[in-house]
Amino acid sequence: GKRCSGSFSPELVDYLRACYKRWGESVFRETRLLCLLQSMSHQ
């Protein structure tokens, strides 16, 4: 699996944000990407 990291391309960030809006928080919690989204919200 992927670890939380602060180094992501802007394209990937935009993609994940769009997926978050479409699928919702529960999906990302299950795929362990919620931590990534939380780190994005602080930027």
Render pLDDT for 1-43 as a digit per residue (tens, 0 to 9).
455 556 668 888 888 788 778 877 666 666 666 677 777 766 5
With respect to residue 32, please indicate whether it lies within any of the assigned structural domains: yes
Residue type, 3: R
- The number of folded domains in the chain is 1
pLDDT at 6: 61
In-domain check, residue 2: no
Is there a domain that residue 34 lies in? yes
Domain region containing 37: 10-41
Quick one: tokens of 30?
């299950």
pLDDT value at residue 22: 82
Structural domain contains residue 23: yes
Q: Give a yes or no: residue 5 inside a domain.
A: no
Q: What was the pLDDT predicted at 24? A: 73
Please count the other Cβ atoms lying within 10 Å of the Cβ belonging to residue 30: 10
Residue 39 Cα distances to 10, 15, 20, angstroms: 14, 15, 13
User: How long, in residues, is the chain?
Assistant: 43
Examine residue 30 and state whether it is found in any structural domain, yes or no. yes
Please give the pLDDT value at position 4: 58
**What does the pLDDT read at residue 13?**
80
Give CA–CA dist 4/9, Å, rounded: 14
